[in-house]
Amino acid sequence: MTESREQTVARVTAALTGKSSPVAIHRARKIDARGVQDHYWVVADAQGVIVATGTDEESFESACRSVGIDPADDAAIIDANGRLLTPGYVDIHAHGAWEKSFDDGPDGIDVARAGHAVHGTTRQVLSLITNPVGVIERNVRNVRAKMDERPDILGAHLEGPFLALARKGAHDPECLKDPVPELVDELLEAADGCIRQITIAPELPHGIGAIRQFAAAGVVPAVGHCDADYETAKRGFDAGAGIMTHMFNAMNGLHHRKPGPIPAAVEDPRVTIELINDGFHVQNPMVKLGFGFAPHRIAFVTDAMAATDCPDGAYKLGALDVNVVDGHARLVSNGAIAGSTLLLEVAVQRAVLELGFDAPAAVEAATLTPAHALGLDRPNKVTGAPLGLIAPGYAADLLLTDPATWQVEEVWCAGRKLK
Ligand SMILES: [Zn+2]
Ligand SMILES: [Zn+2]
């Protein structure tokens, strides 16, 4: 029986706003940033936290009993039967899916999150597009409210309004601003602690000061949508920027006499580098090159917009009209690339099956590395339990995936079954 998208949204939203349950999975092939292990099992408690993992069946049975699961009860235990067990995917830069954007209010957030969740993205930072400041503040308050209801929403990513006009991409040029201190304070206050990251062009008059201001408030600033030279980008990272927003896209590229912002990010071990692995935003040879630049520091992001997991056609990005042809989204007005239709499931599939990346490295780029960029790979105030690995103490964010196709078949977020 296939359910409609409306039914899926209702079911996923109910699961995420409901309680977690103990989980016991055995006979899996575990793949995470620490490597591959066969005959693997994992047990999580009723709080949605992994309590034990291992490879011998006897300890599996005692771990099951410790969380109140009867190891003889076939209905309570999931037999992975050799399928892949990975941590849930963590997307720190995406705008929407299933015809909705994260800017579209509470119902839009439910729909777009469900679209990503059933494809294995258990946690997501909701990227908000450039808009008039009052609209951004309203959107960020919607994210704040959702965070209190459910565990899967990590907070907001403000992509704008502090972007370089010359590298605006699909953002509305009328709304771009210089990040003067008063405006930064106003946004921080409206957000009430829910901004996880913000993209800033460091060469703006108040760019470096704003990076310092956001970093001091616990936000991770990101260098991007910029036309910065190497020195200015380096000053941005020294001021506290911990992320490079979608490397290669919406920034001056590599040049041997004008190195630009990319080498400044690559050489700095504190910086996580976002990469849109869809083969279109960044073509395959550059994905391979870029992935090799910074081992363990490349985070796959989708930058997915409303048309993600939808047919081609007409969509909106903020107030701007977008046309999607062959899955490629472009502004109607000037043909600029307007976000992707990528899922992290597909980014990992492409990395392993098409580009030939080592599977633990591909999984790491969609799990531990993005979690680390936001300090969520250790106990923290946002998720409580850390994200990104299958190990005791980590959140029970688990995926069972087909080993041949890398399609995600079953999904748990913090012990809640989503698929
Ligand atoms: Zn962008
Ligand atoms: Zn974006």
Residue (of 307, 308, 288, 285) closest to 365 by Cα position: 288
Cβ–Cβ under 8 Å, residues 151 and 16: yes
Residues 266 and 317 placed together within one structural domain of the fold:
yes
Q: Which residues contact 6 (CB under 8 A, 6 or more apart)?
A: none
Residue 318 pLDDT more than 90? no
- CA 403 – ligand 2 centroid, Å: 30
- Is beta strand 35-44 parallel, antiparallel or unpaired with respect to 23-32? antiparallel
**Global confidence as pTM:** 0.98
Residue 378 falls within a domain, yes or no?
no
Residue 109 falls within a domain, yes or no?
yes
CATH of the domain at 148: 3.20.20.140
Cβ–Cβ under 8 Å, residues 221 and 197: yes
Residues 81 and 97 placed together within one structural domain of the fold:
no
Among all chains, which residue has been given the structure tokens 């190497």? 230
> What sign does the CA torsion over 316, 305, 221, 375 have?
positive
Residue 1 pLDDT more than 80? no
Percent over 90 (pLDDT), the chain: 97
CATH of the domain at 31: 2.30.40.10
- CA 256 – ligand 1 centroid, Å: 24
Binding-site residue set for substrate? 170, 249-250, 257, 281, 337-339
Residues 120 and 204 placed together within one structural domain of the fold:
yes
Residues 189 and 238 placed together within one structural domain of the fold:
yes
Q: What stretches of 192-238 show up as alpha helix (H) in DSSP?
A: 207-216, 230-238
- Is beta strand 89-94 parallel, antiparallel or unpaired with respect to 313-317? unpaired
Cβ–Cβ under 8 Å, residues 265 and 275: no
In total, how many domains does the chain have? 2
Summarize pLDDT for 395-407 with one digit per residue, the tens. Answer: 999 999 999 999 9
- Which of 303, 309, 377, 397 is the catalytic position? 303
d(CA 209, CA 239): 8
Closest ligand, as measured to the CA of 101? 2
- CA 122 – ligand 1 centroid, Å: 22
Q: What mean pLDDT comes out for the span 378-392?
A: 98
Percent over 70 (pLDDT), the chain: 100
Residues 68 and 123 placed together within one structural domain of the fold:
no
Cβ–Cβ under 8 Å, residues 128 and 348: no
Residues 128 and 166 placed together within one structural domain of the fold:
yes
Q: Which residues surround ligand 1, an ion (CB under 5 A)?
A: 169
Residue 69 falls within a domain, yes or no?
yes
Q: Tell me, what's the pLDDT at 319?
A: 83
DSSP codes of every residue in 96-121: EETTEETTSHHHHHHHHHHHHHTTTE
Q: What mean pLDDT comes out for the span 289-294?
A: 98
Other Cβ atoms less than 10 A from the Cβ of 108: the count is 19
Residues 219 and 357 placed together within one structural domain of the fold:
yes
Q: What mean pLDDT comes out for the span 347-363?
A: 98
Q: What mean pLDDT comes out for the span 121-131?
A: 98
Residue 330 falls within a domain, yes or no?
yes
Q: What mean pLDDT comes out for the span 13-33?
A: 98
Binding-site residue set? 159, 170, 225, 246, 249-250, 257, 281, 337-339
Residue (of 238, 277, 234) closest to 259 by Cα position: 234
Residues 114 and 209 placed together within one structural domain of the fold:
yes
Report CA-CA distances (Å) from 411 to 177, 180, 205, 232, 399. Answer: 40, 43, 45, 42, 5
Q: Tell me, what's the pLDDT at 320?
A: 87
- CA 200 – ligand 1 centroid, Å: 11
Please give the residue range of the domain that contains residue 52: 5-86+388-417
Residue 2 pLDDT more than 90? no
Residue (of 156, 164, 161) closest to 184 by Cα position: 161
Residue 29 pLDDT more than 70? yes
Residue 383 falls within a domain, yes or no?
no
| Residue 28 in tokens | 């899996």
Q: Tell me, what's the pLDDT at 138?
A: 98
Residue 379 falls within a domain, yes or no?
no
> Coil, strand or helix: which one is 398?
strand
Other Cβ atoms less than 10 A from the Cβ of 295: the count is 10
Residue 215 falls within a domain, yes or no?
yes
Summarize pLDDT for 254-291 with one digit per residue, the tens. Answer: 999 999 999 999 999 999 999 999 999 999 999 999 99
Summarize pLDDT for 209-265 with one digit per residue, the tens. Answer: 999 999 999 999 999 999 999 999 999 999 999 999 999 999 999 999 999 999 999
Closest ligand, as measured to the CA of 95? 2
Residues 140 and 207 placed together within one structural domain of the fold:
yes
Q: What mean pLDDT comes out for the span 106-130?
A: 98
Q: What mean pLDDT comes out for the span 144-169?
A: 97
Q: Is 303 a catalytic residue?
A: yes
Q: Tell me, what's the pLDDT at 8?
A: 98
- CA 160 – ligand 1 centroid, Å: 9
Residues 300 and 405 placed together within one structural domain of the fold:
no
Residues 251 and 302 placed together within one structural domain of the fold:
yes
Residues 209 and 181 placed together within one structural domain of the fold:
yes
Residue 381 falls within a domain, yes or no?
no
